[in-house]
C-alpha cells in the first residue's frame, strides 16, 4: 500500500513509518525538519519537507496515496491548533488529489459519555482540566473529520507510553475499553496501519488500548 504519514517525527508517527516499511508498504513521510525523523533511509521511504498548515505544500505528498495516516498532536499542554488546522489542511489536499482514505489519531480522555461512573466522575474531570487545550483542539478536529465526507477512521487511544510492541490490542466502538488506561505507541501504530487497509472501520471512531 502507498501511504502518506503526517506527524512522522512524533512518537507514534515514527513507529508508523518504521512498521509500514517493515510490512512492505511504500511510505511518504511529511515533516518540517527531516533531521528529526529517526528512521534510516530506505528505498520505499520518501521524506517530504512541507508545512502541514499549507495544503498546496503537502498536495504532492498526498497525491497518489492509497491512505493517509495523521499522527499529529500537541507537544506540550499550552494552547494549540495543530490538530484542527493541520488536519483541515490535510483534508483539503486530499480533496484536491482525489484521495479518500484517512486515519487520524485522537484520544479517549476527552470522551466522558462512554465510561463507568468512577472514571466519568473522578478521573476524566481531572484529565480534562490538565489537558484541556489539547483536548479542545482534538475535539474540533474530530468534528471536522466526521463532517468531511472522506472515508475516515478516528482512532481514540488512552494515555500513550513508549513500552515495547506486543501486538496485543483491544478495541471498542461506542464505549471506552474498560480497565485499560494505557497503550504503547508501537501497538497504536500497528492498529493504525491495519485500520488503513480495513474497510470495515471506515466511518467509525474506535477506542483502542493495550490488550
% residues pLDDT > 70 (the chain): 88
% residues pLDDT > 90 (the chain): 79
Given this model, what pLDDT does residue 3 score?
A: 98
Which positions ≥6 away from 105 have C-beta within 8 Å? Answer: 7, 12, 70, 71, 72, 73, 155, 157, 188, 192
pLDDT digits (tens, 9 = 90+) for 129-148: 555 567 899 999 999 999 99
* Sequence ranges of the domains in the chain: 2-210
Given this model, what pLDDT does residue 201 score?
A: 98
- Is there a contact between 202 and 195 (Cβ–Cβ < 8 Å)? no
Given this model, what pLDDT does residue 173 score?
A: 93
Which comes out higher in pLDDT, residue 78 or 208? 208
Residue 37, Cβ neighbours under 10 Å: how many?
18
Please, is 202 exposed, middle or buried when counting C-beta atoms within 10 Å of its C-beta (0-12, 13-18, 19+)?
Answer: middle
How many Å apart are CA 104 and CA 68, to the nearest integer?
8
Q: Which residue has the cell 498548515?
A: 53
Q: What is the pTM of this model?
A: 0.90
pLDDT over threshold 50, residue 101? yes
Average pLDDT on 66-89 reads 91
Q: Which residue has the cell 489542511?
A: 89
Give CATH for domain 2-210: 3.40.50.720
pLDDT digits (tens, 9 = 90+) for 165-204: 999 999 999 888 877 789 999 999 999 999 999 999 999 9
Q: Which residue has the cell 466522575?
A: 121
* Strands, sheet with 26-31, edge to edge from the N-terminal-most edge strand: 45-49, 26-31, 2-6, 67-70, 101-105, 151-155
What's the grid cell of residue 79? 494552547
Angle subtended by helix axes 11-22 and 185-196, to nearest 10: 60
Q: Which residue has the cell 493541520?
A: 86
Bridge partners of residue 160, in order along the sequence: 183
Question: Alpha-carbon dihedral of residues 196, 203, 88, 77, nearest 10 degrees?
Answer: -80
Q: Which residue has the cell 484517512?
A: 102
- Is there a contact between 16 and 192 (Cβ–Cβ < 8 Å)? yes
pLDDT over threshold 90, residue 6? yes
71-66-36 Cα angle (round to 5): 35
How many Å apart are CA 166 and CA 169, to the nearest integer?
8
Residue 45, helix vs strand vs coil? strand
Given this model, what pLDDT does residue 169 score?
A: 97
Amino acid at each position: 500500500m502507498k501511504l502518506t504519514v503526517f506527524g512522522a517525527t512524533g512518537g507514534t508517527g515514527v513507529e508508523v513509518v518504521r512498521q509500514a516499511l517493515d510490512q512492505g508498504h511504500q511510505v511518504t513521510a511529511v515533516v518540517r525538519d527531516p533531521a528529526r525523523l529517526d528512521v534510516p533511509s530506505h528505498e520505499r521511504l520518501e521524506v517530504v519537507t512541507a508545512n502541514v498548515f499549507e495544503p498546496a505544500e503537502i498536495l504532492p505528498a498526498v497525491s497518489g496515496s492509497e491512505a493517509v495516516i495523521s499522527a499529529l498532536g500537541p507537544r506540550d499542554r499550552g494552547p494549540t491548533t495543530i490538530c484542527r488546522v493541520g488536519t483541515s489542511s490535510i483534508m483539503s489536499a486530499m480533496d484536491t488529489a482525489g484521495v479518500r482514505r484517512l486515519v487520524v489519531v485522537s484520544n479517549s480522555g476527552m470522551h466522558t459519555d462512554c465510561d463507568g461512573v468512577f472514571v466519568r466522575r473522578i478521573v476524566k474531570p481531572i484529565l480534562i482540566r490538565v489537558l484541556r487545550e489539547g483536548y479542545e483542539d482534538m475535539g474540533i478536529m474530530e468534528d471536522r473529520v466526521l463532517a468531511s465526507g472522506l472515508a475516515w477512521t478516528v482512532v481514540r487511544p488512552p494515555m500513550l507510553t513508549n513500552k515495547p510492541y506486543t501486538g496485543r490490542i483491544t478495541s471498542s466502538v461506542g464505549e471506552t475499553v474498560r480497565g485499560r488506561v494505557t497503550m504503547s505507541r508501537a501497538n497504536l501504530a500497528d492498529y493504525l496501519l491495519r485500520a488503513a487497509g480495513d474497510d470495515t472501520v471506515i466511518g467509525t471512531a474506535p477506542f483502542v488500548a493495550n490488550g
